Chains A and B, each alone.
Chain A
Amino acid sequence: EPEVTQTPSHQVTQMGQEVILRCVPISNHLYFYWYRQILGQKVEFLVSFYNNEISEKSEIFDDQFSVERPDGSNFTLKIRSTKLEDSAMYFCASKKLAGASTDTQYFGPGTRLTVL
């Protein structure tokens, strides 16, 4: 069964450094998402991406964050200058298209980001 994959599984970085989190969505999916979950808290929406542009973003997704689909298979989240409070699990998700019963998002296993 196809699945969303994410790399790395764990990333440790120093405060102020740039990090890139990578995701490979399910191959025939058209919508891509990033969510994050700070330890002990809810899963929070960050951004959605469709047709090579951001569809929607949350207040969390400020200028420090960017997303890109650099080729036909990868979807990345870049944090330009990491802060301690960026430490969290980051989940990538994808879905095939909107409408009817096919509107199901599938999530990857996550990348644990630790900012020191």
Chain B
Amino acid sequence: DAKTTQPPSMDCAEGRAANLPCNHSTISGNEYVYWYRQIHSQGPQYIIHGLKNNETNEMASLIITEDRKSSTLILPHATLRDTAVYYCIALNTGGFKTIFGAGTRLFVKA
């Protein structure tokens, strides 16, 4: 699975969009970009994933560049409850395990 690079921390004002970047320049054609988050010590929570096209669900949007070397997770209206560690993972669809990095610690401030 490709290595991903994320900033260690970010701040966002409550009600504003949070844009979390991820670099995955070595991603291969059969690897999806997955995003999870972990609120405090809870279990990682699935957010969204995509292969080539931009994706949107009730939680977030995922924008993947055309060359697939980077992506951005967008939380359109961040709330205090979105304060968490966000993990960007490049995952082979046949892969059995998920390798977590250090992620980005997002602080949403009132």
Contact = CB atoms under 8 A, between A and B. Distances in A.
- Do A and B truly interact? yes
Contacts of B97: 33, 45, 48, 56, 58
B38 interface: yes
A108 interface: yes
B21 interface: no
A110 B41 CA distance: 8
B96 A31 contact: yes
Given A42-B102, A107-B43, A110-B43, A99 B94 contact: yes
Given A101-B49, A105-B46, A107-B45, A42 B101 contact: yes
Contact of A109 (B43, B100, B102): B43
Interface string A43-55: 1110010100001
B98 interface: yes
Contacts of A108: 43
Nearest to B51: A101
Nearest to B42: A109
A103 B95 CA distance: 9
B12 interface: no
Interface residues of A, number: 30
B100 A112 contact: no
Contacts of A109: 42-43
Contacts of A45: 97-99
A37 interface: yes
A48 B43 contact: no
A100 B30 CA distance: 9
B98 to A, nearest CB: 6
Interface string B69-110: 000000000000000000000010111111111100000000
A21 to B, nearest CB: 13
Interface of A: 4, 31, 33, 35, 37, 42-45, 48, 50, 55-56, 58, 89, 91, 93, 98-101, 103-110, 112
19 contacts: A42-B100, A43-B38, A44-B100, A45-B97, A48-B96, A91-B43, A93-B43, A93-B98, A99-B93, A99-B94, A100-B93, A101-B32, A103-B95, A104-B46, A106-B46, A107-B36, A107-B46, A109-B42, A110-B43
